[in-house]
Amino acid sequence: MIDHQQKQGMWIALFLLGFVSVAFGPAPALSVSTNGDGDELTPTPQFFTINSQVINASGGKVPEEMDVVLQAYNGLQVVLEENIEIAEGGSYSFTNIPLVSNWVYLVGVKYKSVSFYSDLLYGDKVYSGREVELPILIYETSTDTSVLHAERAQVLLGFPDEHTLKVTQSFMISNSSNWVIVPRGEDSTVLEFMLPSGAENLSFEQGVLDERFVLTENGFGDRSKVGPGHVEHQVMYSYTVPYDGECMLLLTLPMDVNSFLVELPSNGVRLSNPYLHDIGERDLEGMVMHLYTANELRGGTQLRLQFSGEPHPTGAGSQNELGMTVVGFSAFILALIIVVGWMNQHRPEPVPVEEAQDLPSLAEDVLNSAGHTVEMLLESIASLDDLYRTGKLSEDIYKSLRTELKRRLRDAREQKSQPDS
């Protein structure tokens, strides 16, 4: 039994919780009931309904036979999974869904061997007893890669030791069509990337060779599908080349690129290229980096990056050890803010396509810190939402990063659903 003072305080807290819910939106899904004496509080089960639609965003028909899957996540595990068949006209309905404030809900279907998912639904944003719409967009498939372009390409350079240059690069790719771009055949690729002669230690942030990626005559190809939308696909890889005080890298762009960023540590090594714009040094998470930009580069453009100078320690812990694998999630956001702001004031002429060469280079990862598992990605998306709600991210950057995290989540779910070989 609880004494009168405790009971009074609890009812005041519940009253305030109800007031906040009415004023600012739904509170966590928890209600209470009392026993006959009104002394004890016990949770009352909460439920809600999802009534929604599967929509063919390519303009085609929705299949008459299709399974719709509802899953709920709590922390590190799936706590709920339900399967139903699609109804006439593409509608579907899940009823009596347990509502728990810290669960995250997701609905998905598979169409033409491609998985499609709804937006994430957070339990603390839903009222008990309410109906929620959670539409799922599906798309037809195509092999036309001309609709693909990179919104951003980022090159990160580092020196694991004074005789080695590591190059890492990220392409954030958009599909401007209403189709999912797929390989032409089972052994074909969607995108192909060249590698320079002498490149070693090739590695990928997501996927491995002989699965998502395959070696080609001049480099490697990416077999994964590219869904419609803004920054829906990302390719990240890395390699090392020898460095003896000078080095020339020829970066060949596999597609049109809207915004191009190069980051070089300020450690005594100089970079020269007539088409890159030097926007100076910035402190990115305790590391001083020199930034270079370009924009509106055409596919096939080759950028010759000439490096000279002896790299020296900067004293910032282990700068060489940054792998330079990743500057960090927040540093990536900061770099984007810097570049977007600069680009708004400087619109250079498009870079001409230079004469073809035998050498190129490309590489690896920027968003590593977001994690790779379904659970980690769900947490990253929630954290990103919090940053946006508190005004710490602009809408454009928030939307781009959230779209990329959602794409990773879809990939992680597909990989998780595949049986172990």
Clarify whether residues 316 and 300 are in a common domain. Answer: yes
Residue span of the structural domain in which 150 resides: 145-370
* 218-236 average pLDDT score: 87
* Statement to judge: residues 152 and 98 lie in one domain: no
Are 164 and 100 within one domain? no
Q: Render pLDDT for 164-184 as a digit per residue (tens, 0 to 9).
A: 999 998 899 999 999 999 999
Q: 292 and 207: one domain?
A: yes
> What pLDDT shows up at residue 239?
92
Mean pLDDT of the chain: 76
Q: What is the pLDDT of residue 263?
A: 92
The per-residue pLDDT for 18 is: 37
Read off the pLDDT of residues 321-373 as tens digits, 9 standing for 90 and up.
333 333 343 344 444 444 444 444 444 444 444 433 332 222 223 344 455 66
Give the pLDDT of residue 327.
Answer: 39
pLDDT at 95 over 50: yes
Tally the residues of the chain: 421
* pLDDT > 80? residue 35: no
Low-confidence winner among 130-134, 164-168, 187-191, 417-421 (lowest mean pLDDT): 417-421
Contacts 24+ apart (CB under 8 A), 127-132: 127/26, 127/48, 128/29, 128/31, 128/46, 128/47, 128/48, 128/99, 129/46, 129/47, 129/48, 130/48, 130/49, 131/48, 131/49, 131/50, 131/51, 132/48, 132/49, 132/50, 132/51, 132/52
Global pTM reads 0.66
Which residue did the predictor score with more confidence, 190 or 29?
A: 190
pLDDT number for residue 9: 40
Residue 404 within any structural domain of the chain: no
- In this structure, what CATH number is given to the domain that contains residue 78? 2.60.40.1120
Q: What is the pLDDT of residue 332?
A: 45
Q: Which one is predicted more confidently, 224 or 384?
A: 224
pLDDT tens digits for range 311-333: 886 544 333 333 333 334 334 44
What pLDDT is recorded for position 328?
Answer: 40
Whether residue 56 sits in one domain with residue 15: no
Do 72 and 123 share a domain, yes or no? Answer: yes
CATH number at 346 reads 2.60.40
pLDDT computed for residue 210 by the predictor? 87
Please give the pLDDT value at position 36. 55
Average pLDDT for 80-104: 94
| 38 and 59 belong to one structural domain | no
- Residue 291, pLDDT > 70, answer yes
Domain match, 163 and 300 both: yes
Residue 392 has what pLDDT? 60
More confident residue, 137 or 41: 137
The verdict on 102 and 123 lying in the same domain is yes
Largest CA distance in the chain: 87
